[in-house]
């Protein structure tokens, strides 16, 4: 059976923790999109880890970790990450990399930096990991697939030369930066070949056979619905689809095999990068939530940047869950809200004097003002509670209020960063 773990919001919902937790029952965990631009933070018996490319299942010796064709594969980052976890005492994970995955090249990272420099104040707040230039090249059909590392030298060198010609026009005339040398790019590819060769696999066939054998497969999404290039807050989005449906493409499996979509939804909001964020809060109120948020504060796992903070947004989360095709909501970091006397929730958007609960397109979103409703807080620490009935009444009321407003069942409540900090609920 295939299950997807994806985000309802702007990312950083705690997908890593939920995947790590569900990984106990899984045989295979697959990354199907995104790259090393966002990270998952995972706390388990081995320690605390920030993963960027590896799926969150790498800590179990019984699981196989798969990098699907939809991923922006940064090979040096992947290998540093493998080394990092092995150095911290985790057994060497079983890893498979799709022969159809494309590789992030050093020049993708440079182009990302150059473009952000060029845009100055109008930048998208990129993490400068090369993701947008990478996906642009993939769809412009000038990217490099892992399988191409195994071509004849002449053939590959021909392609490298052609790609460098295109890139060098931009480097010379738009960015005024040093040009690419095709020989160097070829060498870079050969270094990647050496690193990746032992792991290369026909992943779609591997997964097809695994499905037929009845294996448990988890698809792990990066970021959340609102960062999807089609359905998110375009253009302040990421460059690959963050939706569970894309799991079929980015892993290479039949769409009808994804039987469960677990959408991770955070009990308050946080976002990184630019773009409209209707329920955003500022000043001391935001600082306090940021300081107390997540596990040790709401700061980027990759960049260390402070995240933008806000109250729970029903409009965005209802939409985010709908776009994922949610069967189950995992409601996370609820424990963090225990300090508040009252908890505001954004229940609608006021746009040009009208209130809506449907998430609008970006130019209308920019005008939206939050309509807030305030719920009483529970004023205690709920970590360690394992049964739903044992949660304080106001805490249950908060969960049930949100479940009713978003219209999807909250079947898991996460009340701490650890694997066992979870409360299951029936639908
Ligand atoms: P992801 O990218 O969706 O996996 O999310 P991140 O890893 O960026 O952010 C989630 C952060 O919250 C991590 O530091 C987790 O350890 C932490 N976390 C996850 N679930 C919970 C929870 O229920 N309570 C608390 N306090 N922290 C959590």
* Model confidence pLDDT, tens digit, residues 280-300: 999 999 999 999 999 889 998
In tens, the pLDDT along 375-415 reads 999 999 999 999 999 999 999 999 999 999 999 999 999 99
Looking at the chain, the domain(s) classified CATH 1.10.300.10 span 102-198
Q: For residue 16, report the distance from its CA to the centre of ligand 1, in Å.
A: 7
Residue 223 phi, psi (nearest 5): 60, -155
Contact 324, 349 (CB under 8 A): no
The pLDDT of residue 20 is 87
Q: 102-198: which CATH number, 3.40.190.10, 3.20.20.70, 3.30.930.10, 1.10.300.10?
A: 1.10.300.10
Looking at the chain, the domain(s) classified CATH 3.90.170.10 span 2-85+204-424
User: How far apart are the C-alpha atoms of 104 and 72, rounded to whole Å?
Assistant: 6
To the query of whether residue 62 is one of the catalytic residues in this protein, the response is no
Between these two residues, 89 and 243, which has the higher pLDDT value?
243
**Angle, alpha carbons 373-378-380 (nearest 5°):** 145
- pLDDT exceeds 70 at position 302: no
In tens, the pLDDT along 172-197 reads 999 999 999 999 999 999 999 999 99
Q: Which residues line ligand 1 (CB under 6 A)?
A: 7, 11-17, 40-41, 43, 294-295, 301, 332-333, 335-336, 414-417, 421
In tens, the pLDDT along 246-259 reads 999 999 999 999 99
Which ligand 1 atom is the nearest neighbour of the CA of 421? 23
Q: Which of 360, 425, 361, 359 is nearest to 396 (CA)?
A: 425
Q: Which two tokens stand for residue 237?
A: 């989005």
To the query of whether residue 313 is one of the catalytic residues in this protein, the response is no
Question: In CATH, what is the architecture of 2-85+204-424?
Answer: Alpha-Beta Complex (3.90)
In tens, the pLDDT along 92-133 reads 999 999 999 999 999 999 999 999 899 887 777 677 889 999
Q: For residue 43, report the distance from its CA to the centre of ligand 1, in Å.
A: 9
Q: What is the mean pLDDT of the chain?
A: 95
Which ligand 1 atom is the nearest neighbour of the CA of 416? 24
What lies within 8 Å, CB to CB, of 134 at 6+ separation is 35, 72, 102, 104, 105, 108, 143, 239
């Amino acid at each position: 059976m295939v299950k997807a773990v994806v985000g309802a919001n702007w990312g950083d919902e705690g997908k890593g923790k939920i995947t790590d937790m569900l990984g106990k029952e899984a045989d295979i965990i697959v990354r199907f999109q995104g790259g090393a631009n966002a990270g998952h933070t995972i706390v388990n018996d081995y320690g605390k880890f920030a993963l960027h490319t590896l799926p969150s299942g790498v800590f179990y010796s019984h699981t196989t970790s798969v990098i699907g064709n939809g991923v922006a594969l940064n090979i040096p980052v992947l290998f540093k990450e493998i080394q990092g976890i092995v150095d911290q005492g985790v057994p060497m994970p079983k890893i498979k990399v799709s022969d159809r995955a494309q590789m992030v090249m050093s020049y993708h990272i440079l182009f990302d930096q150059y473009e952000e420099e060029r845009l100055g104040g109008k930048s998208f707040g990129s993490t400068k990991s090369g993701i947008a230039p990478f996906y642009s090249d993939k769809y412009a059909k000038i990217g490099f697939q892992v399988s191409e590392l195994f071509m004849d030298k002449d053939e590959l060198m021909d392609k490298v030369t052609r790609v460098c010609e295109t890139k060098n026009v931009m480097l010379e005339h738009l960015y005024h930066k040093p040009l690419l040398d095709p020989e160097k790019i070829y060498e870079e590819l050969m270094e990647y070949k050496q690193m990746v060769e032992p792991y290369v696999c026909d992943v779609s066939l591997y997964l097809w056979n695994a499905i037929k054998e009845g294996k448990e497969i988890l698809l792990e999404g990066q970021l959340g619905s609102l960062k999807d290039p089609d359905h998110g807050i375009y253009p302040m989005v990421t460059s690959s689809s963050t939706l569970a449906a894309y799991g079929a493409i980015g892993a290479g499996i039949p769409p009808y095999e994804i039987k469960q979509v677990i959408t991770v939804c955070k009990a308050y909001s946080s976002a990184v990068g630019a773009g409209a964020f209707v329920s955003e809060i500022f000043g001391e109120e935001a600082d306090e939530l940021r300081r107390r948020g997540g596990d040790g504060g709401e700061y980027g796992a990759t960049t260390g940047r402070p995240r933008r903070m806000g109250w729970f947004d029903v409009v965005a989360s209802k939409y985010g869950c709908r776009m994922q095709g949610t069967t189950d909501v995992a409601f996370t970091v609820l424990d963090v809200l225990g300090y508040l006397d009252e908890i505001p929730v954004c229940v609608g958007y006021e746009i040009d004097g009208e209130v809506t609960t449907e998430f609008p397109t970006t130019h209308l979103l920019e005008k939206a003002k939050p309509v807030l409703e305030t719920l009483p807080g529970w004023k205690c620490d709920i970590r360690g509670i394992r049964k739903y009935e044992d949660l304080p009444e106001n805490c249950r009321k908060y969960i049930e209020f949100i479940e009713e407003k978003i219209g999807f069942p909250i079947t898991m409540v996460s009340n701490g960063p650890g694997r066992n900090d979870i409360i299951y609920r029936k639908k």
